[in-house]
Amino acid sequence: MAHNLQRALVIACAGAVLGLAANLISPRRIPYIAAPKVAPQPTDFISLADAKQLWQTGATFFLDARATADYAAGHIAGAYNLPAEEFDARYPQIATILAPDTAIVTYCDGLQCDLSHHLTARLRQLHYQNVRVLQNGWTVWHQAGFTTTTGDKP
């Protein structure tokens, strides 16, 4: 019995070491300790009407935080795709067209979608301060009948 317990302990430890090593070299690492979630402030959001007004001026960048396939299926016309989950790989392409004082509206889809919040937080870490979230952005924009497009181009 003690011998079987010892074997089980060795197998469990070996599995843990292999799992940690695989996570270490994986491009989609799982953080060992998650950062505390910061509650969004009311000033972090923009209303649909205000977003539409900014969109019409053409002076605001709209960033779609959803996956590339969702973006291609339909997005706000003129919005660029910067998937929150691919931020490190895709940000350098977007960085060339953004200035630190650029007005930015991020959005994803669904009331429970946190992708736009994550994207906003990452942009603020890079000193973009004029960033706001259009909550449930794709759905409310599309349901309002505002201009949308499909494909992989803004």
Could you tell me what percent of the chain has a pLDDT over 70? 92
pLDDT at 19 (0 to 100): 73
Could you tell me what percent of the chain has a pLDDT over 90? 64
Q: How far apart are CA 137 and CA 54, in angstroms?
A: 14
Quickly state the pLDDT bin for 145 (edges 50, 70, 90).
Answer: very high
Quickly state the pLDDT bin for 124 (edges 50, 70, 90).
Answer: very high
pTM of the model: 0.75
b (16+ CB within 10 A) / e for 2-30:
eeeeeeeeeeeeeeeeeeeeeeeeeeeee
Asked if residue 133 lies in contact with residue 122, where contact means CB atoms within 8 angstroms, the answer is no
Q: How far apart are CA 29 and CA 132, in angstroms?
A: 27
pLDDT tens figures, 82-105 = 999 999 999 999 999 998 899 999
pLDDT at 38 (0 to 100): 62
Retrieve residue 122's tokens: 């990452």
**Is the confidence at residue 65, as pLDDT, over 60?**
yes
pLDDT at 18 (0 to 100): 78
Determine whether domain 42-149 maps to CATH 3.40.250.10. yes
* Summary mean pLDDT of the chain: 88
pLDDT tens figures, 42-56 = 788 999 999 999 999
